Structure 1
Amino acid sequence: MAGPYATRMLADLGADVVKIESLEGDQVRARPPLRDDASAYFAHLNAGKRSIALDLKSSEGVAIVKDLVARFDIVVENFRPGVMRRFGLDYETLAAINPNLIYCAISGYGQTGPKALAPAYAPVVHAASGFDMVMMDYQNGAVDRPANNGIFIADVLGGTHAFGAIQTALYQRERTGRGQFIDVSMLEAMVGMLVFETQQAQFNAPRRPLYTPLRTTDGFVMVAPTSPRNFEQLTDAVGHPEWRDDPRFRTNVDRNRNWDVLLGLVEEWTLGFSSVDAEAQLAKHGVPCGRYCSVAEVLEDPQLEARGAFATICDGGGELRVTNPPFRMSGSRAEARNHVSTLGGDGPDLLRAELGMDEAAIAGLRASGVLG
């Protein structure tokens, strides 16, 4: 997922992204949700890209990739270290063909170190990074094992870091005229996210405050009165201005020391309201807060609609909504492109336009099983 996520972001900014797939296709093409055998999951990750299906175990397939590399700016790969070298498509080989090439390798643990060759998917990296144990510790003994895992943070974070590094390498190439190799470690991306926790592990400082969901009549809200002003606003919102003079809450230090007590008192108030009404009352007084939403609710969120956070695209199964980049640019178009290629669907056009192949040569590649 990390490589496709990074290249989807590039495609959203207008890059011509070619996805090189095996003859069987990216396994995500078979992942649900499926509609008429078209995967919405695949479409979300690969909108805006062209697809060519090649047998990279054949010398002819590898030769086609090398010919394409001579005409492109960037290679992104997401294999374990060593796989691309076995294909004959490692950085040193491709940089000899195109010295301006920016080659980005995303892997679980990076290209070097004792675990570099270990297989790693996002849930494995979450466990290895300390993230899962930190999250369990933050439950204050309410659970006896790390939480189940289904959101691939390491992939998204690794892909986002790759996207940023590629932009920097492109800018540097404009200054120096030289490409370079980028080594992205998903493990290091996860560890880099644990800012406070990295310092806590060295200096044994307790985490205060912890942000806890508060129950309402029909769900939960998050309340985060972190500043002195936020606390004053909270006391007004819940109708307890006397809390400002309570010695347990008088200063930030006092509030942090008695944070659980404070949130317990606030929950006594939120239990009298629905999530929508509690959020509205708190927000009216300027308290940082938010109700807990399902993803289905998020798809209909007025704020996201106003921002144009989703784009509607079409694939072989019909229409679907996918996320746009979370940034807007005054001078550039940053949004999902409405193209989801079938497996190898752009291969012949790509070979004609980029490599000047004629129909006979393309037909020969198909007949020999090199081109899918």
Structure 2
Amino acid sequence: MLVTIGHVDEKNLTGSLAGLRVLDFSTTIAGPHCTRMLADMGAEVIKIESAEGETMRSRAPVRSGCSTAFGQLNAGKKSVVLDLKSPAGLEAIKKLIVGTDILVENFRPGVMQRLRLGYDDLEGLNRRLIYCSISGYGQTGPSATLPAYAPVIHAASGYDMAHLAYQPGRSRPDHCGIYHADVVTGTYAFGAIASALYQRERTGRGQHIDCSMLESMLTLTLNEIQWSQFEVAPAQRPMFSPVATSDGYVMIAIASEKSFQTLMNVIGRPDWVIHPLFARYSDRRANWAALMDGVEVWSKSLTTAQCLAALNDAGVPSSAYRTVAEALDDPQLAHRGALAEVEDAAGTFRVLNPPFRMSAAKVAAGPRAAALGEHTKEVLAEVGLSKT
């Protein structure tokens, strides 16, 4: 019998990865995003930090010495301080590895090997270890050792120039402030780890996962990958661009024949459904500027709210342009319990839960972001060591 979430006592659910232990050597965003997802799914994630603390601990906003940027990426994890260059630190890691299921690191290729903590160094201690390396270009190859952060990968992958092609009249690439490459790569790493766990159930063996930010970022340019190989006539106007209203803009996504036909009825031009310039997709694309100019004759006569009311009533995909703050106040997010409250030493703040729900497993951010080294004594005591 199918059991829905409505018939399950959510308070008694456990995470689907409960019982797994993760050693998290990662910093900044891509690796911590991956390991926070593992923590959200119930795994015990032990974040290994230096005495100075992970670099994100100083990122704004900082309240009373606590960064919510750090807390957002590391909620639900334990914090252990170790000197990885010391014999005592190395000994501690090797003892912990014996009972560890997953290791995640995003140092530049070669760093973990120099610390004698590479996959080849550790697999002999634990054949079931799943070891995930996240790097800019992959672990091998001519670019492997190049330093890379998300903005560099955006440029290197062609993403920035692809995005620029949708901004008519501009030749300078956009500034970078939203780090797609980090989030996408961290999510791919999470999926690869889940796959490796499934494979381990059948083989009894772990493996090394090599996750490339460059390749991850390229997956966002699906159309452009094909257009780079085969000639496609560009549209006169980007197909998905702001549509002006009397007091702002809306996004209207005409992505199917049904949405096109419905929109034409909404704007009072049902005759355009069979018009020779617009009836077929290929003709419509070639005359996209004329089509959208006609849509804006209608939209400019209405406010944004009036446009959206008409479009939503008809089932045309559309939205106002909102700030993140406005989006976070959406009643839909409240309905789904999309936001969790996390506590640190300075108080509380909100973070997103994973964007999926499971009918028989708990999916939620951990309630606390650990202080630096908060769990060092506890974790080391488990393997018979004192705090180093």
Shared fold per TM-score greater than 0.5: yes
C-alpha separation between the residues in 1 aligned to 2:65 and 2:303? 41
Residue pair 1:123, 1:152 contacting (<8 A) in 2 also: yes
Is the counterpart of residue 162 in structure 1 residue 189 in structure 2? yes
SS in 1 for 2:167: coil
CA distance in 2, matches of 1:311, 1:217: 37
SS of 1:293's equivalent? coil
What's the counterpart of residue 186 of structure 1? 213
How far did residue 313 of structure 1 move? Answer: 1.3
Aligned pair 1:221/2:230, yes or no? Answer: no
Distance 2:360 2:311 in 1: 37
Partner of 2:224: 197
Q: Unpaired runs of 5+ in structure 2?
A: 1-28
1:86 to 86, 100, 114: 114
Q: Structure 1 counterpart of 2:154, which letter?
A: H
Where does structure 1 lack aligned partners over 5 or more consecutive residues? Answer: 366-372
1:66-85 mapped onto 2 (5 Å cutoff):
66-85=94-113
| Cα offset, 1:99, TM superposition | 1.0
Which amino acid in 2 is paired with 1:199? Q
Query: Which structure 2 residues correspond to residues 51-130 of structure 1 after superposition, within 5 A?
Result: 51-130=79-158
Partner of 1:206: 233
Shift of 1:355: 0.8
Q: CA deviation at 1:270?
A: 1.7
- 2:53, 2:303 → 1: CA distance? 47
Partner of 2:289: 260
SS of alignment partner, residue 203 of structure 1? coil
Contact 1:217/1:272 (CA < 8 Å) preserved in 2?
A: yes
Would you say the 8 A contact 1:200–1:206 is kept in 2?
A: no
- Cα distance in 2, alignment partners of residues 80 and 207 from structure 1: 39
How many angstroms does 1:304 deviate by? 1.6
State yes or no: 1:136 paired with 2:164: yes
Aligned-partner residue type, residue 276 of structure 2 = P
Richer in helix (by share):
1
Q: Normalising by the residue count of structure 2, what TM-score does the alignment of the two structures yield?
A: 0.90
Work out the CA distance in 2 between the residues paired with 1:36 and 1:207: 52
Deviations 1:26-51 (A, max 9, x none): 01000001111111100100001000
Matched, 1:346 2:386: no
Following TM superposition, by how much is the alpha carbon of 1:285 offset from its aligned partner in structure 2, in angstroms? Answer: 0.7
Partner of 2:204: 177
Shift of the alpha carbon at 1:277? 2.4
Secondary structure of 1:113 counterpart: coil
Deviations 1:301-335 (A, max 9, x none): 11222121111111122111101111111111111
1:355 aligned to 2:383? yes
Structure 1 residues 214-233: Cα deviation after superposition (integer angstroms, max 9, x where no partner): 12233221111222221121
Deviation at 1:207, TM superposition (A): 4.8
Indicate if the aligned counterparts of 1:215 and 1:267 stay in contact, CA closer than 8 A: yes
In the alignment, what sits opposite 2:179?
A: 152
Counterpart residue identity of residue 80, structure 2:
I
- Who is 1:368 aligned against? none
Shift of 1:77: 0.0
How many residue pairs get matched?
358
Matching residue's letter, 1:226: A
Does the alignment pair 1:19 with 2:47? Answer: yes
What TM-score, normalized by structure 1, do the two folds share? 0.94
- Counting aligned pairs with the same residue, the percent is 50
Displacement of 1:81 in angstroms is 0.1
**Distance (whole Å) between structure 2 residues aligned to residue 219 and residue 188 of structure 1:** 37
CA distance in 1, matches of 2:372, 2:189: 25
- Verify the 8 A CA contact 1:3 1:77 in the aligned structure 2: yes
Query: Aligned letter for 1:170?
Result: L
CA RMSD of aligned residues (A): 1.2
Helix, strand or coil at the partner of 1:97: coil
Q: Does 1:293 find its partner at 2:285?
A: no
